[in-house]
Amino acid sequence: METPYVNIHTHCRHGEGIEVVSVIAALGVLPQNASQPPFDLGVLPQVAPQPPFSFGIHPWQLTGLDANSLGDLSAALEVIEASDASAIGEIGLDYTVAVAGDSALRTLQERVFTAQLRLAESSGRPVILHSVKAFEPTLTILASYSLQAVIFHGFIGSEQQAARATRRGYFLSFGERSLTSPKTVQALRSTPLTHLFLETDVSPLSIRDIYAQAASSLQVPIEELARQLFENYQEVFGHDRSVA
């Protein structure tokens, strides 16, 4: 039987005619009515995905809010904890929206990020990270938690950053955007296959296309790449696979 491809982070299922394990990203929904609590996490997008899926509060959802309007964060966390999510995510820090000088939004992002890391730690679930222009603070925060697994989704960074993350045992996931950056392709080549994932995120490309590009850059047979990434998936999630 052919080894399934693993799509570790995607916002939609791709009908590809091949066996794929897709970890769907299910975001909490911000209400349109400002008088309502800021998080309506009781509603999964459209149709609740079947496991494996990730569920969490994205840092983009905090833009325009402040600590006083955050509402009952503990109630939102209870919804995430009670869900069938296989991973907490995507969560993290994004300093392209919390720009330098916007200390209040950065503090809010850190508060929500650390609260979800505590939940992941206590529930024994891996985390899928969104980290943009915030690599150093993200590493600093992560050092305080003992997590089942950490996956940097859509990794865009240097070979040196990749090495620092993988030395800690973290996983790096590369997608279409990653594979267009010469700097990040070099980081991909330096990443041990045992700490690697691939993803489509919002790309129209299929996961098969992403695997083909990565295998070419790594100069490894695509079958070998598929076997190792499926082993990584089994290590991280530790349950029988759900095939999309």
Query: What's the CA gap between 56 and 233, in Å, rounded?
Result: 20
In-domain check, residue 75: yes
Confirm whether 139 is domain-assigned.
yes
User: Given this model, what pLDDT does residue 72 score?
Assistant: 65
pLDDT (tens digit per residue) in 146-180: 999 999 999 999 999 999 999 999 999 999 999 99
241 part of a folded domain: no
DSSP secondary structure letter of residue 195: G
Report the pLDDT value the prediction gives residue 102, as an integer from 0 to 100.
Answer: 82
- Asked whether residue 243 is assigned to any structural domain, the reply reads no
* Total structural domains within the chain: 1
Tell me the pTM: 0.89
What are 172's strand-pairing partners? 152, 196
Which among 5, 26, 106, 115 is positioned nearest to 59, based on CA atoms? 106
Report whether pLDDT(32) > 90. Answer: no
User: Per-residue pLDDT for 14 more than 70?
Assistant: no
Is residue 242 in a domain? no
Q: Which of 169, 137, 136, 176 is nearest to 153 (CA)?
A: 176
| Residue 51 domain boundaries | 5-236
The verdict on residue 128 lying in a domain is yes
Tens-digit pLDDT profile for residues 33-76: 333 445 555 454 444 567 899 999 888 888 777 666 566 678 78
User: What is the average pLDDT value for the chain, to the nearest integer?
Assistant: 86
Domain for residue 115, yes or no? yes
- Which helix H or strand E contains 66, and what residues bound it? none
Domain CATH for 94: 3.20.20.140
The verdict on residue 177 lying in a domain is yes
Q: 80-135 pLDDT, tens per residue? A: 888 889 999 999 999 998 777 788 889 999 999 999 999 999 999 999 999 999 99
d(CA 7, CA 176): 12
- In percent, the amount of the chain with pLDDT more than 90 equals 63
